[in-house]
Amino acid sequence: MAVTMQEASERYNIPMEVVREYESWGGMAEKDMGVEQCGDADLEALSLMMTLRGLGFTAQEIKSYMRPSPAGAAADAMRLRMLECKRVDALRAIHVQEQQLEQLDSLRHRIRAAGKA
């Protein structure tokens, strides 16, 4: 079932900027009386774009992920590298947050210990 760009944006909470970006890459070639339509494949691609966006991918990274220059196994290898890089970044951020929590807990402990003295 095809929906218009506006309907896709409203129904599935996809920002219009994401829909327009996808359209600029050549998505949504289907038209109904001159109005661009999103088919099931388009909605699936838009969903992937939103997932990648939520993972911190930039617009250019999303485009590279979804429309890789090499095709086939080379494209899959490139996508895996991209995902692994994002995973490493996420782990680093978690590590920094863990260190911050340890420092917060240490400061809290000092205050509590000083209050008992």
What does the pLDDT read at residue 107? 97
**pLDDT mean by block of 10 residues, the chain; 117 residues:** 85 92 79 70 94 96 88 91 97 98 97 86
What does the pLDDT read at residue 34? 57
What does the pLDDT read at residue 35? 62
What does the pLDDT read at residue 38? 86
What does the pLDDT read at residue 29? 60
Name the residue among 55, 64, 61, 59 with its Cα closest to residue 93.
Answer: 55
Structure tokens at 111: 């205050």
**pTM beyond 0.85:** no
Is it true that domain 1-67 has CATH number 2.40.50.100? no
- The count of C-alpha atoms lying within 13 angstroms of the C-alpha of 24, restricted to the half-sphere facing its C-beta, is 9
